[in-house]
């Protein structure tokens, strides 16, 4: 066998080996390397450090996907929406109804980001970095209440379509218009609170004036049914 033939055989053997390696992992080696690089980039993202330093983790949980009580999960949320809502809460434009302790639900966030003397502890640039990091993270797995009734979930699905919620949020709440929130898989209690606040004109900031026309006649039971259906949708499913 001459040198040319040896090189050809060697190249073919290497190609087969690489193909087999890709088959073992279920994807080409280049894709695996890219995925690892992206993961490393997220870990080093300045938004992550700011998220920890500004105590966002206290209410929204690790990586924005383990929120406590009726606070929302933020992982995988629309970046522009996160920025707008954070700035509106800081400025006081976004209001909220009281929680079980009688305090506005936004108070904890205001207390973390604004000093008792009224000094804002976070810059717009920092808000943007945190939002950019959160928007790149995988969304939380849905965790609906275990006592939801199948008939309520089905009723919620029909109401969602009937009230044309898909116009802004997508057919399943997972493909919203730009700067609108993903609501599929969001926490049941949070969805209820926000829909009631918008219906009752407590929350009036941003684009909710558009939503008011769709929810103003909804009863509490109907809101709960829509929330039931949305809270079961898994955005992480491929």
Q: Are residues 37 and 116 in the same domain?
A: yes
Q: Does 167 map to a domain?
A: yes
Q: Does 156 map to a domain?
A: yes
| pLDDT of 159 higher than 80 | yes
Q: Does 136 map to a domain?
A: yes
Burial call 156-193: b when 16+ CB within 10 Å, e when fewer: bbebbeebebeebbbebbbebeebbbbbbbbbbbbbbb
- Band of pLDDT at residue 237, cut at 50, 70 and 90: confident
Domain boundary among 117, 140, 163: 140
| pLDDT of 116 higher than 90 | yes
| pLDDT of 42 higher than 80 | no
Domain housing 56: 32-140
| pLDDT of 168 higher than 50 | yes
- What percentage of the chain carries pLDDT values higher than 90? 80
What pLDDT shows up at residue 37? 54
pLDDT tens digits for range 172-198: 999 999 999 999 999 999 999 999 999
Q: Are residues 101 and 184 in the same domain?
A: no
Domains contained in the chain, number: 2
Q: Are residues 36 and 134 in the same domain?
A: yes
Q: Does 160 map to a domain?
A: yes
What average pLDDT does this structure show over 161-168? 96
H-type helices in the chain, by residue range?
3-25, 29-44, 46-53, 57-60, 79-91, 107-113, 124-136, 150-162, 166-169, 188-199, 208-215, 220-231
What pLDDT shows up at residue 238? 64
CATH number assigned to the domain comprising residue 125:
1.10.760.10
Q: Are residues 134 and 162 in the same domain?
A: no
Q: Are residues 233 and 172 in the same domain?
A: yes
| pLDDT of 41 higher than 80 | no
- Between 35 and 36, whose confidence is greater? 35
């Amino acid at each position: 066998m001459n040198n040319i033939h040896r090189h050809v055989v060697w190249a073919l053997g290497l190609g087969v080996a690489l193909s087999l390696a890709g088959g073992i992992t279920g994807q080409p080696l280049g894709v695996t390397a890219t995925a690892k690089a992206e993961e490393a980039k997220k870990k080093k993202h300045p938004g992550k450090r700011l998220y920890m330093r500004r105590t966002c983790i206290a209410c929204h949980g690790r990586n924005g996907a383990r929120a406590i009580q009726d606070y929302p999960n933020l992982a995988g949320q629309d970046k522009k929406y996160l920025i707008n809502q954070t700035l509106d809460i800081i400025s006081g434009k976004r209001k909220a109804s009281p929680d079980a302790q009688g305090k506005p639900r936004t108070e904890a966030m205001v207390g973390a980001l604004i000093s008792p003397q009224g000094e804002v502890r976070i810059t717009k640039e920092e808000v943007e970095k945190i939002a950019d990091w959160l928007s790149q993270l995988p969304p939380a797995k849905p965790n609906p209440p275990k006592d939801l009734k199948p008939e309520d979930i089905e009723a919620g699905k029909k109401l969602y379509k009937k009230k044309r919620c898909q116009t802004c949020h997508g057919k399943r709440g997972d493909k919203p218009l730009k700067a609108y929130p993903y609501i599929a898989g969001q926490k049941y209690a949070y969805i209820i609170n926000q829909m009631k606040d918008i219906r009752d004109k407590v929350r009036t900031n941003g684009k909710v004036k558009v939503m008011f026309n769709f929810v103003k006649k909804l009863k509490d039971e109907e809101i709960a049914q829509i929330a039931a259906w949305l809270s079961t949708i898994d955005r992480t499913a491929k």
